[in-house]
Amino acid sequence: MRIAELHPQPDWVLSIVSEDGRVGRFDVTPYLEYEAFEELRDHDEFIKVINGGYFVEWACGADLSADTIEAQWEVVGKAEQKNTV
């Protein structure tokens, strides 16, 4: 999976649109117990997530691969296709 859009949400969830148009939610909360993700408990740090296409990362060094996200996310729909004429 390639991540086309990434939007951090208030509840430590990433709203994601994949390159193929699937829309889903990925809950980062279970990862916050790990040392690498500790700084993300501060929501101001969590929302500074960077989309690397095949991964997401934060300044603290924490990252998640698109494969990890795809294996655990909840697909909630499909993005509308934009008409290109």
For the chain, the structural domain boundaries read: 3-78
Q: Which CATH class is domain 3-78?
A: alpha beta
Nearest-angstrom CA–CA distance, 17 and 54: 12
Q: What is the pLDDT of residues 5-62, one digit of tens each?
A: 999 999 999 999 999 999 999 999 999 999 999 999 999 999 999 999 999 999 999 9
Structure tokens at 52: 């690397």
Model's pTM, two decimal places?
A: 0.89
Residue showing tokens 């859009």 = 5
Rounded Cα distance between 8 and 11, Å, is 9
Q: Which uninterrupted H or E stretch holds 55?
A: strand 55-57
